[in-house]
Amino acid sequence: MDKFGDIRPYTDAEARDAFKRMADDPHIEPITNYIKPGLPVEAMRGLLSSLTSVWDFQHKVMYDVVTSIIRQTTAGVTYSGLENLKDGRTHLLISNHRDIILDPAIIQVLLYENKVHTTEIAVGDNLITSQFIEDITRSNGMIKVMRGGTPREIYSNSNHLSEYLRSKIAAGECSAWIAQRNGRTKDGKDQTSQGLVKMLQMSGSGNFVEDYAALNIVPISISYQYEPCDFLKARELYISKREQYVKQPGEDLQSMLTGLTQYKGNVHFYFAPTLSVEAISKCAELDKNERYKAIAGVIDSEIISSYRLWNTNYIAKDILDGTSNYSEYYSQQEKVEFEAYMEGGISKIVERENHICKDELREIFLSIYANPVAAKI
């Protein structure tokens, strides 16, 4: 019996069937034109049909896809702390979450280029909206995270995911990545969900220290100079202040495409040391509910303290506060360029939806960039 067949990545045999479906899918033509301009779509179809394993797909297709996106939409990706993954152990990587696809995708590129085994990737099933997307994701080592349902179903799905992650990591089979919370950070405030922390122990023995230590948790701090989907996030936050925000059909796909194609400037990834037994033991000394909060706090502290602030963050903080406290971190020309970028995007939203208050939307937009500065101080 395949206990985890509903959520695990494809096996090589399943992936071979998926490659053939991808090759025949009409979406493959625009994707080929974007990632490999000038390459005949038939050549891409031929490449997909020739693949024999998940590893083939990752290093012959997905590596080129992600590095192409990096070249076209960033000023460069830097990283630090990657040596913390070279200790011979498997790990659970927990990062802040700013972009649906690129956060884990760039991590895989960094691991691959530094000869560290790539990880499996936890992805919400709400993003898997078609067979084509499911084939791409599960052929790329992605774990399907089942969301929604009744309270009983949510509990069962959480326990199922917890068991799967522990079966892979504690047994030393492979590492995995998961975001610190369901959904991306919209307001620039990175905070680990206590629900995530509790889920991780559901499959454990009940020994708090041993259960978390066995997962070899590595916090990762991801910072983009230009926040992916910044204007879409500002609009959602604006509407959410007035009513419950309801996603429209195709909205997740729009966010994925915007995140992939939007210019992101400089990008930095910091890989923190593995959570120590000593740090976990201190959390274990607290009351039951407080100990989960404390574990989340340890992860948050690593992410926030290591978050790389860019000129855009300092500019937004100064504009929002009406000061020049951080002017040493940017030039006046950079400020002018950021303001022009901001006003252009906000104006487009207000033109389409004239009920939106431009000044309030601007304040929300600035807070997305300014909040990481506030978190640091």
pLDDT of residue 251: 84
pLDDT at residue number 266: 98
What CATH number has the domain spanning 76-228+264-305?
A: 3.40.1130.10
Instruction: Give every CB contact of residue 154 below 8 A, 6+ residues apart in sequence.
Output: 148
- Reading the block at residue 328, the tokens are 């040493």
Q: What is the pLDDT along the chain (377 residues), one digit of tens a residue?
A: 799 999 999 999 999 999 999 999 999 998 888 778 888 999 999 999 999 999 999 999 999 999 999 999 999 999 999 999 999 999 999 999 999 899 999 999 999 999 999 999 999 998 888 899 999 999 999 999 998 889 999 999 999 999 999 999 988 999 999 999 988 999 999 999 999 999 999 999 999 999 999 999 999 999 999 999 999 999 999 999 999 888 888 788 888 889 999 999 999 999 999 999 999 999 999 998 899 999 999 999 999 999 999 999 999 999 999 999 999 999 999 999 999 999 999 999 999 999 999 999 999 999 999 999 999 88
pLDDT at 224: 98
Q: Using N-to-C axis directions, what is the helix angle for 332-352 and 230-240, rounded to 10°?
A: 50
Q: What single DSSP character describes residue 83?
A: G
DSSP string, 137-160: HHTTTEEEE---S-HHHHHHHHHH
pTM of the model: 0.95
Q: What is the pLDDT of residue 257?
A: 87
Question: Strand 142-145's sheet: what is its strand order?
Answer: 74-80, 265-271, 217-224, 92-95, 176-179, 120-124, 142-145
Q: What is the pLDDT of residue 37?
A: 84
Q: Where are the domains of the chain?
A: 76-228+264-305, 311-376
